[in-house]
Amino acid sequence: MQAGISVISGHGGILVDKDISRDNIKSGRIIMEESETGSRNIRGKIGQVISFIAIAMSLFQLYTGFAGELAGSKQLSVHLAFAMVLCFVYYPFRKKSPTDRIPISDLILALLGGGCAIYLYINYTHVVTSVGDAATYDILVGSCLILLVLEATRRSISPILPIICIIFLLYAYFGPYMPGELGHRGFRAKRIVDHIFMSGEGLWGVPLRVSATFVFLFVLFGAILDKIGAGQYLINLSFAMMGKYRGGPAKAAVVASCAMGSISGSSIANTVTTGAMTIPLMKKVGFKSHTAGAVEVAASTNGQLMPPIMGAAAFIMAEIIGVPYIEIVKAAFIPALLSYAAIFSIVHLEAVKENIRGLTKEETPPFLKTFLSGVHFLIPLAVLIWLLLVVRWTPTTAASWSILVGGATALGNNYLRSKKLFPLMEKTGSDSQDPAFLSYKTDSDYFFMGRTKQELLDSLETGARNMAGIAVACACCGIIVGVVTLTGLGLKMATLITEAAGGNLMLTLIFSVFACVILGMGLPTTATYIIMAAMTAPAIMTISSDLSLGLPIVAIHLFVFYYGIVADDTPPVGLCAYAAAGISGADPVKTGFKSFRLDLAAFTLPFMFIYNTKLLMINTSIRELCYMIPICLIGMFCWSIFIQGHWVTKTYFWERLVFLGLAFLLVNPGSLFIGDIEINHHLVNGTAIMIMFLIYLWQKARKEREEGGQPGMEGVV
């Protein structure tokens, strides 16, 4: 193992010696690259050609973002063609395959996949007029594309999704042999391929359409912010804000992951990007290795809940249920806030329990200097939020203009630094070999032009690399959706779940949770959400209608969405835990179970907002929100005490049960019904807070006795 390296923030100093291993960080990044962007890094002329293709994909998406998407499904055809080519050149056939060259077989598959995908664009009129009566050559091309999509998804995402897809295809064919309600008349292979490839309800359905429009532009936006230094700035700012407090690096990890999650939408990328700095610092101040990794995993996973960028699934949700994306963002805000409040509180109580210090003054960057050093990085994000929330532009248009603002920010940032009007962020390791960085002191104009050009080109390439796997996964999900629409499986499953639950909403929700978590162990969030939206969301809607509950469709789909996300770090599969464990040097399974414990708040919140839709800002007012949010935050603190078993001092078993009850009362700040008796919610909340205060006094007195009369106030500061 190599010696430790120093990580220095550019402005005042997060300095870590000896605790960071290049091998550990490299291990985490390898896991991320294999999952997110492919492990191949080809150099030479072939590498330049591949980079050109990736950049061309991003430029095509950006052009259509301004000029308007191509007619019909032509946009999807071009988008998938690019993605197929990139998947086969970036992702090897298996992990042991060479990563420094591309086998001829993969080049053939890339050309074949791209050619089959672009077939729709070239023969668009023929395809749309031949649905239901496809020619033999249409079926051959469609069959080939379906097989190649399955293989590209296996390489870039997971073997699980293609396996599930194959099961659905077999279900469509063997329908007459299915038992009970699952049976149907069955369809020939030609009819199945015709429906999936020729119609707009299979490969070219909602998942791929959203990938080819909204999602790509938001991923590209996040890539630009990361490349110009916004991600590092947010991490530094988080340390400046939280580093000095008890357990400061862990609190900074929560804040940084929240901030990064709001622009990245990828939990594993979030884990590696922020974890490279936060995990070693957490270990340095006293957190155990698996705990340090778990904090980063829990915080990073929840980043997909944080508006305005919530990952691909949120955009698909808006398209499926037919509501503006801004309504999804608005509904997700309070649950995301409460989820992070719970993680932050648990981290604080962990630091109290283990008596873990914060960073010293020398280790913590000064807040004001750090804030001012990169405040311009917040301009693109502010523009995006303004365009979405105030101007109410479509997500596509808002993201396109925000990308241009990001490019302008890169120009301004590098110009100021080239003129030495702005400090240059320090570099370490291989980054210091950047030609633009090396020439900074001798040729400021080259730094300005060379670095800006490199940042923008890297952003365009990275955006396409990040999207290749997402695009083929969306196409794969489109195959599943196509089978569901062809066979009517969605209605059949809704009937089966409703009958199994006996018309009980709670049982239906519990069945949905189990299905989401089991699927989510092997699938990305987007795939999990699409399948569950087609299979279990209709069942919840049916019971809501039968019981006249009037549950909003946004609440039902967010319920499914949340469990698709938390399944990301559910042991033993959670990929984020393996990436974090690679950095921390801990056992990944142990890290996964610890992160699952830290993330338990996200398991309970969906039930709370199903039964109290005001948490989603539905049918509420500003006055109610100003009352409800602080009460709910107190409730999440009670939940954290229940999870940690510690406040001022170690809690007794009965105290933990009391805090569990208080958490549910406070996070659901409505009236309490005992039989037919209604107790006013103000009385309920006031009583709950009074009980909290009495337990605090009880624990404080107990701690003083344990310490021989010394006061114990650590649990509340």
pLDDT in tens, 343-398: 899 889 988 888 888 888 888 888 888 888 888 888 998 898 898 878 888 888 98
pLDDT of residue 137: 93
What would the mean pLDDT of 694-712 be, rounded to a whole number? 80
What would the mean pLDDT of 653-659 be, rounded to a whole number? 93
* Radius of gyration of the chain from its Cα atoms, rounded to whole angstroms: 26
More confidently predicted of 4 and 194 = 194
Residue 6 has pLDDT above 80, yes or no: no
- Cα torsion angle, 95, 98, 100, 106, sign: negative
pLDDT of residue 675: 53
What would the mean pLDDT of 130-151 be, rounded to a whole number? 93
CA distance 222 to 384: 11
* Bridge partners of residue 8, in order along the sequence: 15
Residue 1 has pLDDT above 50, yes or no: no
Domain ranges across the chain: 37-179+186-199+426-487, 629-717
Residue 12 has pLDDT above 90, yes or no: no
pLDDT of residue 609: 87
Residue 421 has pLDDT above 60, yes or no: no
pLDDT of residue 698: 92
State which H helix or E strand residue 674 sits in.
strand 672-674
pLDDT of residue 71: 84
Residue 445 has pLDDT above 90, yes or no: no
CA-based nearest residue to 85, from 475, 463, 467, 468: 468
% of the chain beyond a pLDDT of 70: 85
The token pair at 246 is 């008890």
pLDDT of residue 659: 93
pLDDT of residue 695: 94
* Bridge partners of residue 673, in order along the sequence: 678
What would the mean pLDDT of 529-548 be, rounded to a whole number? 83
Residue 255 has pLDDT above 90, yes or no: no
pLDDT of residue 670: 60
473-487, 500-514, 581-595 — most confident range = 473-487
Summarize pLDDT for 76-129 with one digit per residue, the tens: 999 999 999 999 999 998 877 777 788 999 999 999 999 999 999 999 999 988
pLDDT of residue 432: 42
pLDDT of residue 119: 95
Mean model confidence pLDDT for the chain: 82
Q: How many residues does the chain have?
A: 717
| Listed range (4-13, 127-136, 327-336, 635-644) with the worst mean pLDDT | 4-13
Residue 274 · residue 28 · CB < 8 Å: no
| Listed range (64-68, 98-102, 253-257) with the worst mean pLDDT | 98-102
Residue 626 has pLDDT above 50, yes or no: yes
What would the mean pLDDT of 182-195 be, rounded to a whole number? 91
pLDDT of residue 532: 84
CA distance 381 to 387: 10
Residue 420 has pLDDT above 90, yes or no: no
CA distance 622 to 616: 13
Residue 712 has pLDDT above 70, yes or no: no
Rounded-to-10 torsion of CA 68, 481, 483, 493: -150
% of the chain beyond a pLDDT of 90: 25
Burial readout 498-516 (b: 16 or more C-beta within 10 A, e: otherwise)? beebeeebeebbebbbebb
What would the mean pLDDT of 449-474 be, rounded to a whole number? 88
Residue 212 · residue 79 · CB < 8 Å: yes
pLDDT of residue 259: 79
What would the mean pLDDT of 666-689 be, rounded to a whole number? 71
More confidently predicted of 459 and 29 = 459
Helix axes 216-228, 395-418, angle to 10 degrees: 10
Assign 654 a pLDDT band (cuts: 50, 70, 90).
Answer: very high
| Listed range (6-10, 23-27, 263-267, 459-463) with the worst mean pLDDT | 6-10
The amino acid at 272 = V
Assign 142 a pLDDT band (cuts: 50, 70, 90).
Answer: very high
CA-based nearest residue to 555, from 490, 607, 491: 607
